[in-house]
Amino acid sequence: MIRKKSKTSVTPRTKAEWVSMIISIVLLAGVVGVVIALWSSPSKEPARFRIDRRAIRNEVGHYYLPITVTNEGGATGAQVTVEGRLRGSGNEQASATTFDFIPAHSSVEGVLIFDTEPTSAELRVVSYQQP
Amino acid sequence: MTNANRQSPWRTELDDLMRGVAGAFLFGAPFLYTMEVWWKGNFTSPPRMLLVLGIAYAALVLLDLRGGFRTEHSRTWLRVFTDSLEALAIALLTATLSLILIGVVRFDTGLEATMGRIITEALPFSIGVGIANNVLQNRDENNAGTDGSRKDTSKHQWHDHAWRGTLADAGATTLGAVIVAACIAPTDEIPMIASTLSSSWLLAIIASSLLISYIIVFEANFGAQTKRRSQPGLFQSPISETLASYLIALLVSFLMLSIFQLLRAEDPLSQWVSYTIVLGLPATIGGAAGRLAL
């Protein structure tokens, strides 16, 4: 029935080759699936930042205020500059830091340093770039 | 090719896949240590990700016609297409693992940025898988070539004096490691990667450097040659070669970092260790490439 294959014809796939092919296809399908899912739910919303404070630590006369900046929007923010202002007795203190990139739904960490206890510091993102 | 038919199909398959992995790292390592490649991933839109995957796949199909990662050439179009799918999966997997390893993909990275970084990085890794066969030819095949006699003698040294063979390769390793490490050492990626890694991650990088180097050495010297590989004495050779070449790579990394003043005498020991280990990964891959080039 089946014609005898010539020497140059295809050798049948071995079991091992089947296994690796199936695993590969599953992995690829997963990757493509995730990308398509991201595509189909496009978040047109711009970058939006949330700043969380963590425990302040005191280092020889300076107060270190660690912050976590989370981008809750759907677009990446570049050169995200966070500024902290502290209105104390008469004088005002400011401290700022810039993050290279905060992709959508990602968070990064940084530290703002003040001379006085910064619990009441006002934190905000003052600027960012759209890459 | 005939050897491949004799050995167990699982081992052949593992050999082929490992050859793909080796190729991916050989070509992909310099791109892995380029922050602009990760950054592009930060703002790659999903349609563009699919486009990049499509380009990688198309490139793999073309490369598979002349190279690919399997010892046995794909003989039908269907095989070419499925082998290229596997090659793309290998590229994505190795890119993902290595981005996790150097701390570029983490839990707090958003899904879109994660996919963007992986897929962008997978493009050079794909090309590496696609040319794996061209770069990582078995020495047996080389022997048929013009410079066969030289390779033959070096192979006999392998049998008798594994260490002498290793030392003979030391020069090539150093050269390859210098070429790669010199390019990467003065860049900002080294401090950037090193600063985010804990000491346990550094151990993971050491282990991965050894593993990747071992895979490359193994596939280059012993690919599809079960007979030789199954002999216990010779099984030691790739391990000693791997260890020796890793030490050379670390030394070269350290020197390059000192030359470019990333490491200075007043810097803390932890910085010396972490920078050297981080640069050691591409350097050891470069060293392996150096041995292949000879």
Q: Dump the DSSP string for B162-198.
A: HHHHHHHHHHHHHHHHHHHHHHHTTSTHHHHHHHH--
CA B232 remoteness from chain centre: 25
Q: How far apart are CA A46 and CA A39, in angstroms?
A: 16
> What is the reported pTM?
0.80
Q: Is A89 on the interface with B (CB under 8 A)?
A: no
Q: Is A131 on the interface with B (CB under 8 A)?
A: yes
The distance of B12 to chain A (nearest Cα, Å) reads 8
Closest partner residue to B43 (CB to CB) among A27, A35, A76 is A76
Closest partner residue to A35 (CB to CB) among B13, B46, B76 is B46
Nearest CA among A96, A128, A79, A100 for reference residue B189: A100
Closest partner residue to A105 (CB to CB) among B86, B90, B110 is B110
Give the burial string for B30-50 (b: 16+ CB within 10 Å, else e): bbbbeeebbbbbbbbebebbb
Q: Say if the Cβ atoms of A76 and B79 lie within 8 Å.
A: no
Nearest CA in chain B to A108: B108
Residues on chain B touching A17 (C-beta within 8 angstroms):
9, 13
Contact A124, A51 (CB under 8 A): yes
Task: Please report the pLDDT score of residue B221 as a whole number.
Answer: 60
Task: Please report the pLDDT score of residue B144 as a whole number.
Answer: 41
Confidence of residue B166 (pLDDT cuts 50, 70, 90): low
Tokens 């290279």 map to which residue? A100
CA B168 remoteness from chain centre: 21
Residues on chain A touching B75 (C-beta within 8 angstroms):
8-10
Residues on chain A touching B111 (C-beta within 8 angstroms):
34, 38, 105
Tokens 């070449």 map to which residue? B245
Task: Please report the pLDDT score of residue A11 as a whole number.
Answer: 72
What's the mean per-residue pLDDT of chain B? 81
The distance of A97 to chain B (nearest Cα, Å) reads 17
- Three-class SS of residue B187? coil
The distance of B3 to chain A (nearest Cα, Å) reads 15
Q: Say if the Cβ atoms of A17 and B119 lie within 8 Å.
A: no
What DSSP character marks residue A89? S
Mind listing the pLDDT tens digit for each residue in A16-29?
Answer: 889 999 999 999 99
Q: How far apart are CA B104 and CA B21, in angstroms?
A: 20
- B3, pLDDT greater than 50: no
Distances (CA, A) of B244 to B20, B214, B232, B291: 24, 11, 19, 13
Q: Say if the Cβ atoms of A31 and B82 lie within 8 Å.
A: no
The distance of A104 to chain B (nearest Cα, Å) reads 6
A61 vs B118, residue with greater confidence: B118
Residues on chain A touching B37 (C-beta within 8 angstroms):
none
CA B125 remoteness from chain centre: 9
Task: Please report the pLDDT score of residue B147 as a whole number.
Answer: 40
Lowest mean pLDDT of B194-198, B199-203, B205-209, name the range: B194-198
Confidence of residue B37 (pLDDT cuts 50, 70, 90): very high
Give the burial string for B162-199 (b: 16+ CB within 10 Å, else e): beebbebbbebbbbbbbbbbbebbeeebbebbbeebee
- Phi, psi of A66, rounded to the nearest 5 degrees: -75, 135
Q: How far apart are CA B233 and CA A91, in angstroms?
A: 76
Q: Say if the Cβ atoms of A101 and B93 lie within 8 Å.
A: no
Lowest mean pLDDT of A7-11, A70-74, A104-108, name the range: A7-11
Q: Is B115 on the interface with A (CB under 8 A)?
A: yes
The distance of B39 to chain A (nearest Cα, Å) reads 8
Nearest CA among B8, B98, B91 for reference residue B52: B91
Residues on chain A touching B86 (C-beta within 8 angstroms):
20-21, 24
Q: Say if the Cβ atoms of A24 and B86 lie within 8 Å.
A: yes
Give the burial string for A78-112 (b: 16+ CB within 10 Å, else e): bebebbbbbeeeeeebebebebebbbbbbbbebeb
Q: Is A64 on the interface with B (CB under 8 A)?
A: no
The distance of B246 to chain A (nearest Cα, Å) reads 30
- Three-class SS of residue A73? coil
Nearest CA in chain A to B44: A76
Closest partner residue to A76 (CB to CB) among B42, B82, B111 is B42
Q: How far apart are CA B169 and CA B155, in angstroms?
A: 12
- B49, pLDDT greater than 70: yes
Sheet strand arrangement including A92-102: A92-102, A77-87, A122-129
Read off the tokens for B17: 């896949």
Q: Is A119 on the interface with B (CB under 8 A)?
A: no
A131 vs B199, residue with greater confidence: B199
Determine the residue type at B151: K
